[in-house]
Structure 1
Amino acid sequence: MKISMLVTILLGLNIYASDVRGVSTAQFTTEILLTIGAEKQLVGTANLWNEIAPELKEQFEKIPELSKRSPTKEQFYELNPNFLTGWKSISTKKNLGDVEELEKNGVEVYIPKTLESNSLESLYEDILFFGKKFNVETNARALIEKLKKQVELIKNKNIYKKKLKVFGYDGKEDFPYVVGGGAIGNTLIEIAGGENIYKETSFGFGSGQWEKIIDSNPEVIVIIDYDNASSEEKIEFLKNRSPIKMLEAVKNNNFIVIPLNYISSGIHVVKGIEILSDGIDKIRNKNRE
């Protein structure tokens, strides 16, 4: 191949990458993209459930935030986007349109693999995809290596410790909305030294049963904190009005509060494991007293 032709191809690839006009509709995808340096190609964000990571705030504030939840089609198409990623529910007919409609309108859709997997490898694959798509592959690979090393350190710290049974409570009162076995939250609990009582389920977050929780008698209750209800409100309900208020874990305040974006996929997985691991350690030690 002639050098001139090779240069033309490479330039074409760079032009393609720099021409990405992306919209991210999940906090975890937004924070990944900002961390690997793709902010100049992000034209919009949405669905911020917790505060953005402080180290990313300056970059984040330069990008239009379309909505705290799902943006409208009008808001979305005003940005002339050609790439969409985030929660799978966004690319449905009731929101921005299904994948077929979006692609027909010139928008490539990438549903993160980690949304349907409990493997950290799926997170690394997503990061690498974004790195290649936004022409920041070196940064993406560096982030992956950093996360892998940090996760391995915590794994080694907890490998010989007795696992405690964990109930992950997202919310709701008529029935519990729980952390299931089908997403990364389950894996973070395991690495931290816990055993999710809903590990056999295929969903990431889903409907549970109060009877199942009573029968399982968890030793740890993880409270997912975001703006649907405060962690204090959730704990007050569990302690005073819930069907599981008689459990020892509830009576002994064996609660670990963790922000939603720390028990979901994304750049906070290591911090999430640390929060869970430290909390489980404290409860483990308390049980010995």
Structure 2
Amino acid sequence: MRTKAVATAALLTLALTACGAEIAPAGDAAAGSAHYPVTVDNCGTKVTFERKPARTVTNDVGITELMFALGLADRMAGYVMPDDKGQVDKVAWKDGYQQARWLSRQQITKEIALEARADLVFAGWHYGFDEAGGFTPQALAGLGIGSYVLSESCRSGKGPERGVMSPLDALYTDLANLGEIFDVRDRADALIADFRAQVAAVPQPERRPRVFLYDSGEDKPYTSGKFAAPQEIIARAGGENVMGDLADSWTTVGWESVVQRDPEVIVINNYGSPDAEAKRKFLTSFPPLAGVSAVRNGRIFVLDYVDLVESPRNPAAITALAAHLRGVTAG
């Protein structure tokens, strides 16, 4: 951690550089090209970029991998995420983890952004941005640092509830916006087309099994409403999210409502070993769930956290879950 004097100096430097001359990677003298300025719609707000960001700091694994999937590791000052990123050695953009710097395993802060000399922070509400901690786009703007808000996390205008578009639309929107912001629209368009094709190739069943997404919680479960990524992952895989009528993204419900809706499959959101096994043990031994179809028939499926938040892994997660659901309908 830098001293207060050094942080103040960094703040003064950012005030002069964040919206003006950028600190560009080597060989990038044309950062202020004719492409700029560009304006994108981010969560209902028009945001203008005078030039290509050069020192982006990302928060969390899904957000970071959006940058990597677009080949933008060289435009990053680094990323913030917990120790357990899951399996990264098989993803197509694994080299990004070698190129970009891992800034912190803890919560993202203004100090981290200042220390990294960030000119852009890419995070989301509940994915880094938080009024209680004072880490908001408005606070960063006061430091001369730009922000881009993850579209999955857009506030709906009804208090803290999030979600203004379907989850895959949020993914495609962010890819398209990042393509404009970083002047890599061809890459973004190709990635969007590939993801759309992957999703379209998944066959849809005649009958849709009822699916409950279990993230965490024993007194009350934390799950996905219709605006979080699991909603569309489940639907495009051929299932029906039993909490898909909730006009929120990630939210808490009661166990009574889970029992009443009798899911045939429970999908566990895995935060890393031994997380999934601990959750499976709880679900299969929790008395109120004993009569639920998914528990009674042993239909519990595991996906990793990064699969279930907005990320470039969403299409592959749809394919994997679809294969499991076909076994339910076949049986």
Fold conserved (TM > 0.5)?
yes
Deviates more, 1:226-235 or 1:243-252: 226-235
Match of 1:218 in 2: 263
**3-state DSSP of counterpart to 1:131:** helix
CA distance in 1, matches of 2:135, 2:32: 34
**3-state DSSP of counterpart to 2:99:** coil
Structure 1 contact 50–259 (Cα < 8 Å) conserved:
no
Cα distance, 1:143 vs. partner? 0.5
TM-score where L is the length of structure 2: 0.77
Match of 2:95 in 1: 58
CA distance in 2, matches of 1:272, 1:103: 35
CA distance in 2, matches of 1:114, 1:97: 18
Match of 1:20 in 2: 54
One-letter amino acid of the counterpart of residue 103, structure 1: A
Q: Alpha-carbon deviations, 1:115-161, whole Å to 9, x = none?
A: 2232422211110111121222211111011111111111xx11x42
Match of 2:192 in 1: 144
Deviates more, 1:16-25 or 1:26-35: 16-25
Cα distance, 1:59 vs. partner? 2.0
CA distance in 1, matches of 2:280, 2:196: 33
Match of 2:147 in 1: 109
* Change in 2 beyond 3 A, CA 1:215/1:75: same
Cα distance, 1:105 vs. partner? 1.0
Residues 1:123 and 2:171 aligned together: yes
One-letter amino acid of the counterpart of residue 268, structure 2: I
Cα distance, 1:51 vs. partner? 2.1
CA distance in 1, matches of 2:35, 2:143: 22
**3-state DSSP of counterpart to 1:206:** strand
Match of 1:42 in 2: 76
Match of 2:64 in 1: 30
Q: Alpha-carbon deviations, 1:154-183, whole Å to 9, x = none?
A: 1xx11x421011111111111111122122
**3-state DSSP of counterpart to 2:108:** coil
Match of 1:92 in 2: 130
Q: Alpha-carbon deviations, 1:238-276, whole Å to 9, x = none?
A: 111342123232022111111111122121111110111
Runs of 4+ in 1 over 6 A off after TM superposition: none
- In the TM superposition, what are the counterparts of 1:108-257 in structure 2 within 5 Å? 108-115=146-153, 116=163, 117-154=165-202, 157-158=203-204, 160-227=205-272, 230-257=275-302
**3-state DSSP of counterpart to 2:320:** helix
Report the identity percentage. Answer: 23
Cα distance, 1:217 vs. partner? 1.1
Cα distance, 1:201 vs. partner? 0.4
CA distance in 1, matches of 2:79, 2:31: 33
Equivalenced residues, count: 277
Structure 1 contact 118–185 (Cα < 8 Å) conserved:
no
Match of 1:3 in 2: none
CA distance in 2, matches of 1:96, 1:229: 33
Q: Over aligned residues, Cα RMSD in angstroms?
A: 2.4
Deviates more, 1:248-257 or 1:54-63: 54-63
Cα distance, 1:62 vs. partner? 2.6
